[in-house]
């Protein structure tokens, strides 16, 4: 694992006089030199607008942009390249579905079903849609270990349900949800399933067909790609009947004074100059991840969790949220230390060069469900090491001493 | 101790305010004015209630959930503005705001609140220190 860490220039720095340890990859991942180079190379050698130039440079840019789409297609095992739409990220992807497919297919009295563990980006667009069309937003409950209550899922998803939208992996609880089983429940009621893949795509092999996902959304920046690029996968049969969200250049075919015809998929959805460098950077990130192998990444992270979880649990006063068993826990570990507020813990860790997240993790309904206002969250990626976890554990113990004994 | 940097923020007096905050009890129907405010970056919530007698703050207390800094800050603030007129309280709030961004301010007027001056070295935590003060400001503006 040592050589992987050296691919990430940002990880090699000192924060507050200590070698920095980055433990917030669920918020955004760091970028390997390969991705940084791909973006720089594009701007240095190939930059031009896409899909319009007759000249060499534009053709090169177009080819690179579309090659990135192919990489995404293979990476998530989509059936066709037309099913891959580039967006700004997971949030925009979900908003697109809600604001067009949702408005056209969800009506007064219908239901949208999500869960208590969703990120705000998979809650608020549905709240707004429900208000706009007069639909009901329903929540699937959780088991005491933080896993999704599948018995409740079967109750909540009814004949009135039009959309089920669920996180593939939680950004707080460290659980992976049984998407295929949820898809079956949804499809039995003729509802579509939207999968928020922001926290799963960076860490495990994704097969949208095996998952039976109708829509699958994810962000580039959490999987070593740049910020500002994301993907909306949609089944071709659904996308063909879905209206574009935005209108303008790139997406049109023929424009007259009062009307216009539109491009075929996928360009129909990509109005305006797209984020070409972002797509190329995402493609480079996919190359990087694929070279290591997604199952290898998953295994390495599992080993890190198996190392970290018992050591964190062993600290007196630590409560870990989500599944307690190593085998069920992803590399996202949310916890609290008795008597020390999460923000105070995060500030103290930062003073020791350890960068963690503290707060509600953009999941306020989940926090209320857990009866917490804030937790500390450590999220790991393959560039993290067991030595870093040792330092984290030792530092938490030191901070406990500081706050509990340092003032008497 | 290697954590000595933290001493700038977590002074002993701050921690004792955080552990035993003054005027920390729930808002009830008896309170004349109350407002609730959230810190959207972290989810902390604070509720401040105030009862006026003439132009003087005759009672003030707070409730909510927050970190050591936000609790200590709210505790010190309620001590400072109790039995003050609205304009005196407003003046204290504006001096505190100056301190929080590192500007020159009236140290005498701020009294114990001066303990929180170290927060300027922790930019991510300034909002924790100012949440109660912004909330009180909102409460007084709404009252007028």
State the 10-residue block means of pLDDT for chain B, 144 residues long: 76 89 95 90 87 94 92 96 96 96 93 92 90 94 71
Closest chain B residue to A398 measured between Cα atoms?
B3
Q: What is the pTM of this model?
A: 0.92
| pLDDT of the residue at A406 | 54
* Angstrom distance (rounded) from CA A329 to CA A236: 33
Q: What is the DSSP string of A175-215?
A: -B--HHHHHHHHHHTT-EEEEE-TTTTTTS---TTTTT-SE
Q: Cβ separation of A403 and B42 shorter than 8 Å?
A: no
Residues of A in contact with B125 (CB under 8 A): 343, 347
Q: Cβ separation of A348 and B16 shorter than 8 Å?
A: no
A24–B contact, CB cutoff 8 A:
no
Nearest to B62 by CA among B51, B49, B53, B73: B49
B90-115 burial: b if 16+ Cβ within 10 Å, else e: bebbebbeebbeeeebeeeebeebbb
Indicate the length of chain A as a whole number: 408
DSSP E strands, A310-374: 318-320, 332-337, 354-355, 357-359
Residues of B in contact with A344 (CB under 8 A): 10, 67-69
The ipTM (two decimal places) reads: 0.84
Instruction: Give every residue of chain A whose pLDDT is below 50, as ranges.
Output: 1, 407-408
Nearest to A388 by CA among A345, A357, A355, A351: A355
Q: Cβ separation of B1 and A351 shorter than 8 Å?
A: no
How many Å separate Cα A146 from the centre of its chain? 19
Dihedral, CA atoms, A166, A170, A175, A178, nearest 10 degrees? 20
- Classify the phi-psi angles of A123: left when phi > 0, otherwise alpha if psi is within -120 to 50, otherwise beta: alpha
CA atoms within 13 A on the CB side of A1: 15
Helix (H) or strand (E) holding A252: strand A252-255
* Angstrom distance (rounded) from CA A85 to CA A145: 36
* Angstrom distance (rounded) from CA A279 to CA A35: 11
Q: List residues of A with catalytic annotation.
A: 362
Q: Are the C-beta atoms of residues B31 and B50 closer than 8 Å to each other?
A: yes
């Amino acid at each position: 694992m040592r050589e992987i860490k050296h691919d990430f220039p940002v990880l090699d720095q000192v924060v507050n006089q200590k070698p920095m340890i980055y433990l917030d990859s669920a918020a955004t991942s760091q970028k390997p030199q390969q991705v940084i180079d791909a973006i720089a190379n594009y701007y240095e050698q190939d930059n031009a607008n896409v899909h319009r130039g007759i000249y060499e440079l534009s053709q090169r840019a177009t080819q690179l942009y579309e090659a990135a789409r192919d990489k995404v297609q293979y990476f998530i095992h989509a059936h066709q390249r037309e099913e891959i739409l580039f967006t700004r990220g997971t949030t925009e992807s979900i908003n697109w579905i809600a604001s067009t497919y949702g408005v056209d297919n969800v009506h007064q009295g219908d239901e949208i079903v999500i869960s208590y563990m969703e990120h705000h980006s998979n809650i608020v667009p549905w709240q707004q849609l429900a208000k706009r069309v007069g639909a009901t937003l329903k929540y699937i409950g959780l088991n005491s270990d933080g896993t999704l209550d599948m018995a409740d899922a079967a109750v909540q998803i009814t004949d009135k349900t039009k959309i089920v939208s669920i996180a593939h992996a939680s950004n707080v609880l460290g659980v992976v949800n049984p998407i295929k089983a949820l898809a079956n429940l949804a499809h039995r009621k003729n509802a579509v399933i939207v999968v928020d893949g922001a926290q799963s795509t960076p860490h495990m092999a994704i097969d949208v067909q095996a998952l039976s996902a109708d829509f699958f959304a994810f962000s580039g920046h959490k999987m070593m790609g740049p910020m500002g690029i994301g993907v909306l996968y949609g089944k071709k049969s659904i996308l063909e009947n879905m209206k574009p969200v935005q209108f303008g250049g790139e997406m049109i075919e023929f424009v007259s004074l009062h009307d216009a015809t539109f491009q075929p998929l996928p360009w129909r959805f990509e109005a305006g100059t797209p984020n070409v460098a972002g797509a190329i950077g995402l493609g480079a990130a996919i190359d990087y991840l694929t070279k290591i192998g997604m199952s290898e990444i998953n295994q390495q992270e599992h080993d890190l969790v198996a190392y970290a979880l018992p050591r964190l649990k062993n600290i007196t006063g630590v409560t870990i949220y989500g599944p307690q068993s190593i085998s069920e826990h992803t590399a996202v570990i949310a916890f609290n230390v008795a008597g020390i507020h999460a923000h105070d813990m995060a500030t103290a860790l930062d003073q020791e060069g350890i960068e963690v997240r503290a707060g509600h993790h953009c999941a306020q309904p989940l926090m209320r469900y857990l009866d917490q206002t804030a937790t500390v969250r450590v999220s790991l990626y393959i560039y993290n090491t067991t030595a870093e976890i040792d330092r984290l554990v030792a530092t938490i113990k030191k901070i406990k001493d500081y706050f509990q004994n340092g003032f008497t | 101790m290697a954590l000595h940097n933290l001493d700038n923020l977590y002074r002993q007096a701050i921690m004792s305010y955080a552990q035993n905050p003054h005027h920390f009890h729930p808002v009830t129907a008896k309170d004349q004015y109350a407002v609730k405010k959230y810190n959207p970056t972290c989810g902390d919530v604070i509720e401040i209630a105030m009862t006026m007698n003439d132009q003087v703050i005759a009672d003030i207390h707070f409730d909510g959930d927050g970190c050591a800094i936000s609790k200590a800050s709210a505790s010190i603030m309620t001590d400072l503005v109790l039995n003050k007129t609205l304009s005196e309280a407003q003046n204290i709030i504006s001096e505190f705001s100056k301190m929080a961004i590192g500007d020159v301010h009236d140290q005498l007027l701020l009294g114990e609140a001066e303990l929180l001056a170290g927060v300027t070295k922790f930019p991510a935590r300034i909002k924790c220190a100012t949440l109660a003060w912004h909330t009180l400001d909102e409460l007084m503006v709404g009252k007028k």
